[in-house]
Structure 1
Amino acid sequence: MGKKECGVYESIINRALEIKHPLDVIWELTYRCNEKCEHCYVLQTDRNELSKERCMKILQELADAGVLFITFTGGEPFLREDIFDLISEARRLKFAVTIFTNGTLLGLEECKWLSKKNLRSMEISLYGSKPETHDSITGVQGSFHSTIRAVECLIENGVRVVLKMIVMRKNVNELGELVRYAQECNVRFRWSSVLTPRNDGDVSFMKDMRLSDNELRTITEREFSLDEEPSPDLLLKAFDDLENKIPCSAGHTTCGILPDGTVLACPQFVQGTNNLKDSGFLEIWNESTHFKAIRNITESNLPECETCAAKFFCFRCQAHALLEDGNLLGPSRESCREAFLKLELYESKTKIPATQD
């Protein structure tokens, strides 16, 4: 994205933030998945999925509401038999479509079909540069090779691919190799060390997976991330221009839809009472107590964060704060840890050497 396009994008975000206009929807189409990733926050549930007909109506509602971006995710979205119909309808309605997938269900025919849809991107997770590492994390033997085949097939057919990695103790030493692989493929690469609490609030599984301070410091210092495309949460200047700074775009310009039609400011809030089977999208967006409560949170409501020395390095997650510590207005502890490590690195790099007499 060039400077001119970035400027237009930023102005759109600014205006949307001011008027609380929905721009970006993350839609979890299913909780079903053909992998069993040990760090996944989604519990396999029997939550009823929306029918194809209902999904089509919702897509039209979102278009009428002025939503520009849609991300289809899961679970594994390609487990839905109607996924290609939903993608076609979303593109017919002129949405910029992103799909989060493990890629294992995509063959040559599917890749060729997707190449004709001019998707914003296909975001695919790799959890290691070695088959044994990736497969041990996904819990599925052979998943590494299936994902790699999909990545290379999509690229060969001209689909924009983004590679992603959740970095944990088990795979931290393979981050560099995956960065190099992304460079060889000429695709964008993103990594994150943030683990998400399970959607029942369980955080116990994360203890042995999270990076140590030294591991996190090392990979942060290397600045491995190749992601250069702005996203609503990265355009912090847009937030700085507001009189009352907001801590996250969730509920202001973005929201999530769960497989059963529940609408939340972010899918990671998990629980909600507003459902598209009962109410229209704009009615929920404009009138629900959930969204109003989220929009009332500004930096001034977060006393511990407002005065924090590391706040400019922090990507605080409200949902994580709620799930981990039970306090929507409290710090997001893992975000705190990362922010202070970044502050430490920043200060060490910008420190002016003492003059010698």
Structure 2
Amino acid sequence: MLDDAEVVQEMTIITNGLSLDREIIRKLGVYKKLTALKVSLEGASAETNDSIRGRGVFERVTRMLRELREESSFKILIMFTVSKKNLSELEGMFTLGQDLHLDGLMIERFIPEGKGKEMSGEILSSQDWKNLVQRVISLCGVDVEPMELVPYRAFLVEFGQEVELWGAPCNLKEAFCIMPDGTILPCRRFLYPLGNIITDGLFRSIENSSLLKRVTGKSFLEGKCKRCSRADCFGCRALGYALFRNPFAEDIQCFMLD
């Protein structure tokens, strides 16, 4: 249905990779608008990855990535979610992605929701995040200072003849996450229900949301996010909600005012 919908220009799939095999990969190939598969991997070694994802996962996923590269023309990206447990793996993830001839590496901060709440103590500090951003800059060889990248919540490193770095700004109020039961979320990491697309409708839920009217307004934010002079950034609202159940709490990982 999505492949035939005129309003859908492109589709990607985020997966842990464990259910993929050659047959499924070939079946996915019939979807013209499916352009990329994003596969979660949390370390460049079995020891680190499997301490987060489970025993044996690293070997299974890397084997699948090799098959995927052989069988498909999709862009293949590693999704690397960074916490204190795997902060040291960044350089190894670069090497692994290139050795597997993948198209890129997506780098995101760990937000403790769902089962991830068990790892709440592993979230990055502001200095951890600043250090990681500096290492990404160095690995990509770009001429930019970490402070210039403060508004970006994640990064995409594209492998090729030359490594390219792309920043992902927050798209709050521009994109939404719809769960299988119809629940509408501000983003897939910001688990604050706005309504239900089945019972309330998408546009009515968005228009009636008091949260969306306030969540990007500096006057409503707290702590250093309220004091920050940057007009193009309002901190990570998902992190504040995950940690404090307060969508207006300061982004404790931001190093802007440290």
Q: Structure 2 length as normaliser, TM-score?
A: 0.73
* Matching residue of 1:112: 26
* Matching residue of 1:268: 189
* Matching residue of 2:246: 327
* Matching residue of 1:170: 85
* Matching residue of 2:203: 282
* Matching residue of 1:7: none
Distance, in Å, in 1 between the alignment partners of 2:126 and 2:206 is: 39
* Matching residue of 1:350: none
Q: Deviation string for 1:190-210 (max 9, x for gaps)?
A: 223x2213249x856322x23
Distance, in Å, in 2 between the alignment partners of 1:124 and 1:266 is: 19
How far residue 161 of structure 1 moved from its aligned partner, in angstroms, is 1.0
Q: Which has a greater percent of strand? A: 2
Q: Which letter maps to 1:262?
A: T
1:293 to 197, 211, 215: 211
Q: Please identify, of 313-322 and 172-181, the stretch whose mean Cα deviation from structure 2 is larger.
A: 313-322
Q: 1:306 to 1:175 in 2, by over 3 A?
A: same
Q: Deviation string for 1:6-49 (max 9, x for gaps)?
A: xxxxxxxxxxxxxxxxxxxxxxxxxxxxxxxxxxxxxxxxxxxx
Q: Structure 1 length as normaliser, TM-score?
A: 0.55
Query: Could you list the runs of 5+ residues in structure 1 that have no partner in the other structure?
Result: 1-88, 235-247, 342-357
* Matching residue of 2:171: 249
Q: Of the two structures, which has the highest relative contact order with CA contacts closer than 8 Å and spacing of 6 or more? A: 1
**Are 1:305 and 2:225 an aligned pair?**
yes
Q: 1:278 to 1:219 in 2, by over 3 A?
A: closer
Structure 2 residue matching 1:333: 3-state secondary structure: coil
How far residue 212 of structure 1 moved from its aligned partner, in angstroms, is 6.0
Q: 1:179 to 1:144 in 2, by over 3 A?
A: same
> Which of the two has higher C-alpha Rg?
1
Q: Which has a greater percent of helix? A: 1
Q: Deviation string for 1:306-336 (max 9, x for gaps)?
A: 5426x489672213223323433331212x2
**Are 1:131 and 2:46 an aligned pair?**
yes
Q: Which letter maps to 2:105?
A: F
Q: 1:221 to 1:265 in 2, by over 3 A?
A: closer
Q: Which letter maps to 2:133?
A: T
Distance, in Å, in 2 between the alignment partners of 1:91 and 1:230 is: 27
Distance, in Å, in 2 between the alignment partners of 1:269 and 1:216 is: 19
Q: 1:214 to 1:281 in 2, by over 3 A?
A: closer
Does the CA-based 8 Å contact 1:114-1:159 persist in structure 2? no
Distance, in Å, in 1 between the alignment partners of 2:47 and 2:91 is: 17
Structure 1 residue matching 2:11: 3-state secondary structure: strand
Tell me how large the CA RMSD over aligned residues is.
3.1
Q: Which letter maps to 2:37?
A: M
Q: Which letter maps to 2:4?
A: R
How far residue 111 of structure 1 moved from its aligned partner, in angstroms, is 1.1
Query: Could you list the runs of 5+ residues in structure 2 that have no partner in the other structure?
Result: 140-154, 159-163
Structure 2 residue matching 1:152: 3-state secondary structure: helix
How far residue 114 of structure 1 moved from its aligned partner, in angstroms, is 1.8
